[in-house]
Amino acid sequence: MLNIKNLFNSFGLLKDLKRKDHTPSFGALDIFKYIGPGLLVTVGFIDPGNWAANIATGSGYGYTLLWIVSLSTIMLIVLQHNVAHLGIATGLCLSEAATIYIHPKVSKAILSFAVLASVSTSLAEILGGSIALNMLFDVPTKISAVLVTIFVIIMLFTNSYRKIEKWIIGFVSIIGISFLYELFLVDVDWVTAGISWVKPSIPEGSMLLLMSVLGAVVMPHNLFLHSEVIQSRKWNLQDEKIIKKQLKFEFADTLFSMIIGWAINSAMIIIAAATFFKNSQKVDELQQAERLLEPLLGLNASVVFAVALLFAGVASSITSGMAGGSIVSGMYKEPYDVKDNHSRIGIIISLVGALILIFFIGNPFKGLILSQVFLSIQLPFTVAIQIYLTSSKKVMGKYVNSPFLIGVLSVIAGIVTFLNIKLLVDFLI
């Protein structure tokens, strides 16, 4: 039987790194110095696209599809830790490594597809923030989309990464508290919810929403982003004991952050199930959700909903812009640097490209759902290059994936591919 030490070894928790830097001390509270990169990833999968997917799922199918949030989060923990390990061990983000180690034609095709996924992500984030401004101040959606985009670009071009990280942690805290508040207002069937978290079920007609939830949780741009931002922490090669603790801290950051994301996404579905589904009210736009919450839960609930949506939209727009910058700079074998033109071009493509598309969207809520589906379709390609790179001894050296981890990653890739094929079949039939 695989013991805990072997399991940790399989995930690379007790392996060496290549990067040299300072020698930090490790007190009981030092783990908090390493919390941050994982939360940047977390805000990416509690974005407005998730809100749309989760509320539509909860209002349409009750608690039934909670299991896909659990499954997606488990897959996410494995994938995000693995890609963070790539960044730590090689000093390269996923985009840089793909450009260097994969055939140019293949890498350019996949990374170009990833840039489009970043645009799709930004579309959902900006659209969600603009919808929130419309809810709170009655600003027309397209005008508020322009305002959100301008604010995010200013934030990215004028703030250092560590300052942005602190902003993101604050945003995540506000979003989490908001949903915790609303969760206490509703009458939840916790027994049904508990069963649904672990019991797979695919009701008829639910495949599009199931895929949108998967695409909203396991997001391609987050894999590129995590491999980049994890390098903001100073890894040390001089003392193996320190390296082991650093690796554990990285895993703890990823695990802690992903569990927060799982809880918030679950809360969205639970609230929608306990309010809208219970009252046979199917939600097909976020403004409708806010209006329906007011008579059910009171004025405060609808305001809290809109404020949390605004923070989610702004915070996730920042991370999607960073991911776009990381992908494009990596295509030129460069690390993300907001002062570098390639990184800036990636940010602009991601955010402004999304803003342009928003002006052609007739149904914002449907646009949010379809953007998440597009992410889930792109995801197998990103996961494939990640597995290839982290399983290559040429890339990772002695830090290459263990056979056990290769097996786990392959199962995840198989699940994602199967769900995408099923979605395609459902559309064609």
Indicate the residue type of 218: V
* Average confidence score pLDDT of the chain: 83
DSSP string for 155-206:
HHHHS-HHHHHHHHHHHHHHHHHHHHHHHTTS---HHHHHHHHHS----TT-
pLDDT of residue 341: 96
Does residue 56 fall inside a structural domain?
yes
3-state secondary structure of 200: coil
DSSP code of residue 34:
S
- Given a cut of 90, whether residue 110 has pLDDT beyond it is yes
Does residue 233 fall inside a structural domain?
yes
Q: Tokens 């797979």 sit at which residue?
A: 200
pLDDT of residue 144: 95
| Closest C-alpha among 145, 167, 152 to residue 321 | 152
Distances, alpha carbon 345 to alpha carbons 121, 134, 262, 359, 390, in Å: 16, 29, 32, 21, 28
- 114 with 220: CB under 8 angstroms? yes
Query: Where on the phi/psi map is residue 25: left (φ > 0), alpha (ψ -120 to 50), or beta?
Result: beta
Does residue 30 fall inside a structural domain?
yes
Distance, CA of 248 to CA of 242 (rounded, Å): 10
Average pLDDT over residues 249-261: 87
DSSP code of residue 339:
T
Share of the chain above pLDDT 70, in %: 84
* pLDDT one-digit tens code per residue, 59-85: 999 999 999 999 989 998 999 999 988
Distance, CA of 130 to CA of 273 (rounded, Å): 25
pLDDT of residue 363: 78
Distance, CA of 221 to CA of 122 (rounded, Å): 10
Distance, CA of 137 to CA of 273 (rounded, Å): 28
Q: H helices within 274-358, ranges in order?
A: 286-297, 299-331, 341-358
* pLDDT one-digit tens code per residue, 268-304: 999 999 999 998 888 877 777 777 677 777 778 788 8
Does residue 18 fall inside a structural domain?
no
Does residue 3 fall inside a structural domain?
no
- 360 with 198: CB under 8 angstroms? no
- Given a cut of 60, whether residue 318 has pLDDT beyond it is yes
Both tokens of 383, joined, read 């996961």
pLDDT of residue 416: 80
Both tokens of 205, joined, read 């007609």
* pLDDT one-digit tens code per residue, 141-183: 899 999 999 999 999 998 776 778 788 878 888 888 888 888 8
Q: Tokens 């990653």 sit at which residue?
A: 409
Average pLDDT over residues 405-424: 84
pLDDT of residue 372: 67
pLDDT of residue 25: 47
| Closest C-alpha among 216, 183, 213 to residue 200 | 213
* Confidence at 423, pLDDT banded by 50, 70, 90: low
* Confidence at 107, pLDDT banded by 50, 70, 90: very high
Does residue 40 fall inside a structural domain?
yes
* pLDDT one-digit tens code per residue, 327-371: 999 999 999 999 999 999 999 999 999 999 999 987 776 777 677
* Confidence at 427, pLDDT banded by 50, 70, 90: low
pLDDT of residue 7: 40
User: Using alpha carbons only, how large is the chain's radius of gyration in Å?
Assistant: 21
Q: Tokens 């890339």 sit at which residue?
A: 395
Distance, CA of 8 to CA of 15 (rounded, Å): 9
- Identify the CATH number of the domain in which residue 201 sits: 1.20.1740.10
- 99 with 111: CB under 8 angstroms? yes
* Confidence at 429, pLDDT banded by 50, 70, 90: low
Distances, alpha carbon 238 to alpha carbons 13, 16, 25, 420, in Å: 17, 10, 13, 45
Of the given ranges (4-18, 47-61, 156-170, 183-197), which has the lowest mean pLDDT? 4-18
Share of the chain above pLDDT 90, in %: 43
DSSP string for 108-130:
HHHHHHHHHHHHHHHHHHHHHHH
pLDDT of residue 321: 95
Which residues lie below 8 Å from residue 224, measured CB to CB, with a gap of 6+? Answer: 93, 94, 95, 114, 118, 323, 326, 327, 330, 382
pLDDT of residue 350: 97
* Confidence at 308, pLDDT banded by 50, 70, 90: confident
DSSP code of residue 397:
G
Both tokens of 203, joined, read 């009701």
Domain encompassing residue 41: 25-428
* pLDDT one-digit tens code per residue, 202-217: 898 888 788 778 766 7
Does residue 300 fall inside a structural domain?
yes
Q: How many domains is the chain built from?
A: 1
pLDDT of residue 10: 42
pLDDT of residue 214: 78
Does residue 39 fall inside a structural domain?
yes
- Given a cut of 90, whether residue 386 has pLDDT beyond it is yes
* Confidence at 247, pLDDT banded by 50, 70, 90: low
* Confidence at 112, pLDDT banded by 50, 70, 90: very high
Distance, CA of 336 to CA of 343 (rounded, Å): 6
Helices (H) and strands (E) in the chain, counts: 18, 0
